[in-house]
Chains A and B, each alone.
Chain A
């Protein structure tokens, strides 16, 4: 069965600081990986996704993530965060041959202080 771990539950940063949120998944085969973001009071929305090819993927709002197969990781990064990045971030996996739905991590709450 596929599973996802996000080890940082709550991260507090100052504006302009760099961000890296960890995500590790458990699945032995080919996976599709996603980062979703939920801004306060809003719905979950896709930040970026990886299916194949270049392991460094770029998403919206200056976010990027790197797929490292040997480490079963898909960490999210942003070189310089803004106050508007305050949100909850969810890593998710969907594996071919699986149950055809996303499996989420427990989320990381990011608080950016002005």
Chain B
């Protein structure tokens, strides 16, 4: 009954080699989010889509890009991963961008950079 599905659960990539993480949802929610979570730290918002409207956080590095080809799918592209990009990446959705709307999370993709 998974509603927000992230693939893969674990990803190992080489330093500098582009990598793509994927997220799909069965909730038909308008908003999708990508968070980065490093060990013992708070999940940090990278960007979010409200429908096709892309919203980038000011401090999200240019190395991170995102695509949302349709309502159900959203991708996180890391163009040249560095060692500092090793983290858990969380995808989330919400029905709308209202601040009192619950967000639903996937299980995350743990990225290792070697």
- Separation of A99 and B42 alpha carbons in the complex (Å): 17
Nearest-CB distance from A6 to chain B (Å)? 8
CB-CB under 8 A for A44 and B40, given A94-B99, A100-B50, A101-B48: no
- Separation of A46 and B46 alpha carbons in the complex (Å): 21
Flag the segment in B11-19, B63-71, B78-86, B102-110 that touches A.
Answer: B102-110
Check B45 against A101 for contact (C-beta < 8 Å): yes
Check A99 against B45 for contact (C-beta < 8 Å): yes
In the complex, which range does the number of interface residues on chain A fall in? 20 to 34
From B41, B97, B100, A51 is in contact (CB under 8 Å) with B100
Check B105 against A9 for contact (C-beta < 8 Å): no
- Separation of A43 and B41 alpha carbons in the complex (Å): 16
Q: Does B33 contact A (CB under 8 A)?
A: yes
Check B90 against A44 for contact (C-beta < 8 Å): yes
Name A68-114 residues within 8 Å CB distance of B. Answer: 90, 94-96, 98-107
From A95, A104, A106, B99 is in contact (CB under 8 Å) with A95
Check A49 against B55 for contact (C-beta < 8 Å): no
Check B106 against A100 for contact (C-beta < 8 Å): no
Nearest-CB distance from B37 to chain A (Å)? 8
Q: A residues near B, CB below 8 A?
A: 4, 9, 32, 34, 36, 41-46, 49, 51, 90, 94-96, 98-107
16 more A-B residue pairs beyond the given contacts A41-B107, A51-B100, A104-B44, with a C-beta to C-beta distance below 8 A: A4-B42, A9-B40, A32-B99, A32-B100, A34-B102, A36-B105, A42-B107, A44-B43, A45-B105, A46-B103, A90-B43, A99-B45, A100-B50, A100-B55, A101-B97, A107-B40
Q: B residues near A, CB below 8 A?
A: 4, 31, 33, 35, 40-45, 48, 50, 55, 57, 90, 92, 97, 99-100, 102-103, 105-108
